[in-house]
Structure 1
C-alpha cells in the first residue's frame, strides 16, 4: 500500500498540463458543435458537448458566488451609519443671542436687616465735621458704633474717642478704621461704667483731607440696645489750627 501511495505522489509531481492537447480538445468540441448544428437542422436533437457542460457548471458556480457576494455587500452596507450623520458636530450657539449675566448684588445687600442707621445730628467745627450712628447690621446680641469724620484739610494730629455705655453685657469684639492701621495707636478698656475705644494718630503721620471712618464693635445683653447714652469726641490739628467735635447717638424710643 505504501508503494502505491508513493507511485501516485510521484506521478502527480511529474504531471505537467499538455496545452496543445487541451487546445485540440477544445477544437474538437467546436467541430462537434458544428456537426450538431447541421443535425439539428435535419431534425435530430444535438448531443450536449462535454466542454459545454463544464462551461455551464462553471457559470452556475460563478453566479452563486456573485449572488453571495452581493448579499454580503448588502449586509455590510446596511450596518454602516449614514455618511451624512457621522462626525457632524452640532452648530455652535450664537453668542449674540445669549442672555447677558446679571449684575452682582451690592456688597452687604443680604448681610442683615435693612433698617436705616440710627444717626444723631452731625457736628462741625471749622474744617472738621462728624457724625455718630449705630450700624444697621447690628442685632439683638451684637452692635457696631460708627463714627464718620470729614476734614477739609490734611491733619497732622488726630485723637478719636468712642464711649459705649455699659447697658448690660457690653464687651469688646473688635474695631477698625478706614485709615492705615499702622498710623494709629489703639486702646480699648472699661472706664467708669463705659467701654472706651481710643485711636491716636502717631507722631510724624498725617490724615489726608476727605472722609474717614472709625468703628467699635461689641456684644451686649440680649434684646434691642438703646445707644442714647453713648458718646464720641475728636480733636484734630491742621496747619497749626485746632478743631474739636463732640456728639452722641440717636436714642431708641
Structure 2
C-alpha cells in the first residue's frame, strides 16, 4: 500500500472516532487517586507508667519541703544575737524546767510539807457553785475524828484582780473564834482562831470567805487553805490543800 493511501485511511479513521469522555475522566480520577500518598498513622502517646508519676510527684514534694526548710533557716539567721534563740535539747536528754515552772508545780510556800489529811484531821477547799462573774465564796471543809483544844484555819485567796472581802462565816459558834481579814503577799487572807478555853468537837465543820473580784470566771488555782490544830491529848496536826471548782 502506498503512503498516500495509508495516510488517507488514518485520517478517515481519526475523523470517524468519537472519544468516550466520561470513561476518560473516570480513568484520570482513578490514576490521580492512586498517586496520592497514603495517610500517615499517628500513634497515640505512650501512657506514663504509674510508678513514674508517683516518683515525679514525690520528687516535687521533697523539693518544696527542702525549699521551705531552707527559707525558714535563712530567715532566722539574720545575724541577731544567738542568745534570743531556743535550742532543742539532744534526743534522749531531759530538758531542765525553769525555776518558775518548778515553783508552780511545788505550789504555794504555805503548803510546803502539808497534805489534805494528817492523823485525825482532813481539809479541802472548793469554790461555791453559787458564785458568779463578779462575786465568789470559797468553802473550806474541816473534818476531825477527835476533839481539838486549839485550831487556826487560814484561807488564802490569790489577788487575781479586784479581790476584796464582803464577809465570812463558819458553822461553829461565832463566839468561839476570833476572825481577821487582811491582805498579805498578794493574797486576801481569812483567819479563824479558836479562843482559849474553847474546844472543837469531832465532826465536819465549814469555814467560808466571801469576796468580790474582777468581772469574769476567776481562776482559783492559786488559792489554798491550811489548818493547824492541837488535839485534846496534846498532839499537834496540820493539813493543807489547794482549791478546786465544785462539780
Taking structure 2 as the reference length, what is the TM-score of the superposition?
0.52
Please give the alpha-carbon distance, in whole angstroms, between the structure 2 residues aligned to 1:212 and 1:144. Answer: 16
Where does residue 240 of structure 2 map in the other structure? 246
Distance in 1 between residues matched to 2:120 and 2:182, nearest whole Å:
30
Q: Moved runs in structure 1, 4+ residues, more than 3 A?
A: none
| CA distance in 1 between partners of 2:116 and 2:157 (Å) | 19
Indicate if the aligned counterparts of 2:155 and 2:190 stay in contact, CA closer than 8 A: yes
User: What residue number does 2:208 align with?
Assistant: 215
The alignment status of 1:150 with 2:143, answered yes or no, reads yes
| SS of equivalent to 2:216 | coil
Which residue number corresponds to residue 167 of structure 1?
160
- Residue from 196, 203, 220 that aligns with 2:196: 203
User: Would you say the 8 A contact 1:226–1:251 is kept in 2?
Assistant: no
Instruction: Tell me the residue number matched to 1:224.
Output: 217
**Other structure's SS at 1:250 match:** strand
Answer 1 or 2: higher relative contact order, Cα 8 Å, separation at least 6: 2
The count of residues paired between Structure 1 and Structure 2 equals: 131
Q: Distance in 1 between the 2:244 and 2:190 partners?
A: 19
1:249 counterpart SS class? strand
Q: CA-to-partner distance for each residue in 1:163-209, whole Å, 9 max, x for gaps?
A: 00000000000000000010000000111111000000000000000
> What is the CA–CA distance in structure 2 between the aligned matches of 1:214 and 1:124, rounded to whole Å?
17
Partner of 2:175, secondary structure, is helix
Structure 2: 5+ residue stretches without partners: 1-114
Task: Kindly indicate whether residue 173 of structure 2 is the aligned counterpart of residue 180 of structure 1.
Answer: yes
Q: TM-score, normalised by structure 1?
A: 0.51
Shift of 1:251: 7.1
Give the Cα separation in 2 of the matches to 1:251 and 1:139. 12
- 1: distance between equivalents of 2:145 and 2:227? 15
Matched, 1:193 2:173: no
- Please give the alpha-carbon distance, in whole angstroms, between the structure 1 residues aligned to 2:180 and 2:243: 21
**Distance in 2, Cα, partners of 1:149 & 1:194:** 21
* Alignment partners' CA distance in 1, 2:188 and 2:165: 8
Displacement after TM superposition at 1:154 (Å): 0.5
CA contact (8 A) 2:137 2:211 kept: yes
SS of aligned partner of 1:182: helix
**1:64-116, CA deviations, whole angstroms, 9 ceiling, x for partnerless residues?**
xxxxxxxxxxxxxxxxxxxxxxxxxxxxxxxxxxxxxxxxxxxxxxxxxxxxx
Could you list the runs of 5+ residues in structure 1 that have no partner in the other structure?
A: 1-121
Cα separation, partners in 2 of 1:159 and 1:204, compared to 1, 3 Å: same
TM-superposition CA deviations, 1:127-185 (whole Å, max 9, x none):
00111100000000000000001100010000000000000000000000000010000
Structure whose alpha-carbon radius of gyration is higher: 1
Which of the residues 208, 227, 230 maps onto 1:234? 227
